[in-house]
């Protein structure tokens, strides 16, 4: 294969991979020098001239002329008689430059050279890709579903880069088909061998924070600050927001008229219930707000233990706990305090109340657990609730709830 034909085939990589001219020249020279080292033992006395745009290349071997019989290094020295075959007036001590054709390296060496070039270009691409996506960590990115696998969804962006959305980084209600556009944040870039693996997440708190930036102009402009985000993906989230401008209502601006602004974010997150809370440095007030929609009577804080006792009326307890305990869990994460709910009630009723576990002979354990999840662990705490509300807040059928109420009422009638 002639030099020009080989370079022309190498130039294809420049067009396919969008490598700039200087980088391609550097890669080509490095590859050729490796081939020369293998063939001649050293590449120090070789000049390589490459012009990939024109598709030509020259390799020149420089050797010093020595007297016949005194050649010690075949690579860097040439005998006088051999030199005069190239040009008859050479003298001892002069330098001879002789062009080396690639064919002289041998067919096997040329094939290896081409393979080495492919490897170097892929290495270059991977390095650039790694740097590119490292800079995008924490940013929202959109890509198209290419393949759905049991443990991950494989996405491809407009440039053909592969992005992995693992199952555990998907919202439980997510369902994707080939060709769907998916939004998430670039959470991490990992090197698997020499190839970067780009990881996307839709469950990260950062994703919700970035959605606020995208969808709410005041957050994007910096007029409203997102102080903290906590979430149970697909279920519930709490977002604390603040504004340094007293004229701006940060919660109102984020939610919008009748929830118009936040609706798009909720839909993107699989109808995740989002509570937007006004941030304050007043811990008691912040805890009170974090437990919304429950109305808190009072808060007693223990700074050393980073815990707080929250006092609520009986009818507010289930709201504070929330379905599956989500509300109180997120309120604790948002404020950084371990929250303990204390029920306020009629003293006589409290004294007369009975723990729900006392009815384990008549009420099945899993039913008792369902009530405990929403903060109802005594007989009166259940009897004070509306039947429809109990059905809505638990996974229990109305028939089951009515049967429990019947059992509890009998206890107090007796």
Instruction: Answer for the pair 282, 299: CB distance below 8 angstroms, yes or no.
Output: no
83-93 burial: b if 16+ Cβ within 10 Å, else e: beeeeeebeee
Instruction: Answer for the pair 47, 32: CB distance below 8 angstroms, yes or no.
Output: no
Query: For residue 257, what are the contacts with CB-CB under 8 A and spacing of at least 6?
Result: none
Query: For residue 97, what are the contacts with CB-CB under 8 A and spacing of at least 6?
Result: 47, 60, 61, 62
In angstroms, rounded to a whole number, what is the distance separating the alpha carbons of residues 136 and 69? 65
Assign residue 201 a region (left: φ > 0; alpha: ψ between -120 and 50; beta: otherwise).
beta
Q: Which CATH architecture has domain 205-279?
A: 2-Layer Sandwich (3.30)
Read off the pLDDT of residues 331-359 as tens digits, 9 standing for 90 and up.
999 999 999 888 876 544 455 678 888 88
| Domain ranges across the chain | 3-131, 136-201, 205-279, 347-413
What does each C-alpha distance from 118 to 11, 39, 110, 121, 195 come to in angstroms? 12, 20, 13, 5, 14
**Does the domain formed by 136-201 have CATH 2.40.50.140?**
yes
pLDDT of residue 2: 47
**Does the domain formed by 3-131 have CATH 3.40.50.300?**
no
Instruction: Answer for the pair 45, 60: CB distance below 8 angstroms, yes or no.
Output: no
Closest CA relative to residue 44, chosen from 33, 35, 31? 33
pLDDT of residue 21: 63
Q: How many CB atoms lie within 10 A of CB 293?
A: 10
Read off the pLDDT of residues 181-225 as tens digits, 9 standing for 90 and up.
999 999 999 877 777 889 999 999 999 999 999 999 999 999 999
Q: Which residues of the chain have pLDDT under 70?
A: 1-24, 52-56, 103-107, 109-114, 116-118, 120-122, 124-125, 345-352, 414
Whether 3-131 shares its CATH topology with 205-279 is answered: no
In angstroms, rounded to a whole number, what is the distance separating the alpha carbons of residues 407 and 394? 18
17-52 burial: b if 16+ Cβ within 10 Å, else e: eebeeeebbebbeebbbebbeeebeebebbebebeb
Instruction: Answer for the pair 375, 397: CB distance below 8 angstroms, yes or no.
Output: no
pLDDT of residue 306: 92
In angstroms, rounded to a whole number, what is the distance separating the alpha carbons of residues 374 and 58? 80
What does the DSSP 8-state code read for residue 286? H
End-to-end CA distance of the chain, in Å?
A: 104
- CA angle at residue 184 from 179 to 190, to 5 degrees? 100
* Residue-wise DSSP of 181-214: EEEEEEEEEEEETTEEEEEEESS-HHHHHHHHHH
Q: How many residues are there in the chain?
A: 414
Instruction: Answer for the pair 44, 72: CB distance below 8 angstroms, yes or no.
Output: no
Going by their DSSP bridges, the two strands 273-278 and 236-243 should be labelled as parallel
Closest CA relative to residue 274, chosen from 315, 220, 216? 216
């Amino acid at each position: 294969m002639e030099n020009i034909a080989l370079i022309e085939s190498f130039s294809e990589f420049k067009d396919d991979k969008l490598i700039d001219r200087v980088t391609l020249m550097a890669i080509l020279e490095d590859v050729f020098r490796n081939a020369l080292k293998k063939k001649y033992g050293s590449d120090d006395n070789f000049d390589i001239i490459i012009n990939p745009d024109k598709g030509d290349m020259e390799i020149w071997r420089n050797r010093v002329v020595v007297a016949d019989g005194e050649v010690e290094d075949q690579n860097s020295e040439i005998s006088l008689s051999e030199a005069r075959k190239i040009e008859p007036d050479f003298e001892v001590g002069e330098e001879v430059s002789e062009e080396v054709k690639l064919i002289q390296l041998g067919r096997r060496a040329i094939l290896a050279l081409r393979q080495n070039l492919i490897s170097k270009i892929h290495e270059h691409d991977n390095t650039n890709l790694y740097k590119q996506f490292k800079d995008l960590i924490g940013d929202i990115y959109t890509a198209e579903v290419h393949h759905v696998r049991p443990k991950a969804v494989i996405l491809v962006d407009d440039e053909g880069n592969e992005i992995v959305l693992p199952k555990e980084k998907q919202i439980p209600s997510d369902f994707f088909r080939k060709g769907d556009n998916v939004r998430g944040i670039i959470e991490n870039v990992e090197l698997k061998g020499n190839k970067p693996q780009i990881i996307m997440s839709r469950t990260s708190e950062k994703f919700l924070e970035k959605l606020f930036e995208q969808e709410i102009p005041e957050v994007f402009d910096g007029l409203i600050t997102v102080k903290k985000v906590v979430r149970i993906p697909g279920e519930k989230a709490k977002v604390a927001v603040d504004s340094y401008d007293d004229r701006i209502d940060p919660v109102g601006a984020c939610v919008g008229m009748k929830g118009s602004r936040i609706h798009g974010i909720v839909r993107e997150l699989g109808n995740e219930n989002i509570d937007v809370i006004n941030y304050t440095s007043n811990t008691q007030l912040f805890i009170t707000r974090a437990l919304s929609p429950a109305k808190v009577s009072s808060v007693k804080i223990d700074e050393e233990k980073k815990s707080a006792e929250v006092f609520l009326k009986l009818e507010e307890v289930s709201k504070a706990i929330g379905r599956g305990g989500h509300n109180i869990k997120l309120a604790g994460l948002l404020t950084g305090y371990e929250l303990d709910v204390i029920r306020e009630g009629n003293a006589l009723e409290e004294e007369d109340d009975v723990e729900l576990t006392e009815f384990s002979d008549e009420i099945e354990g899993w039913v008792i657990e369902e009530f405990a999840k929403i903060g109802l662990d005594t007989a009166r705490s259940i009897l004070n609730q509306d039947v429809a509300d109990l059905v809505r807040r638990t996974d229990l059928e109305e028939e089951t709830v009515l049967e429990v109420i019947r059992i509890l009422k009998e206890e107090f009638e007796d």
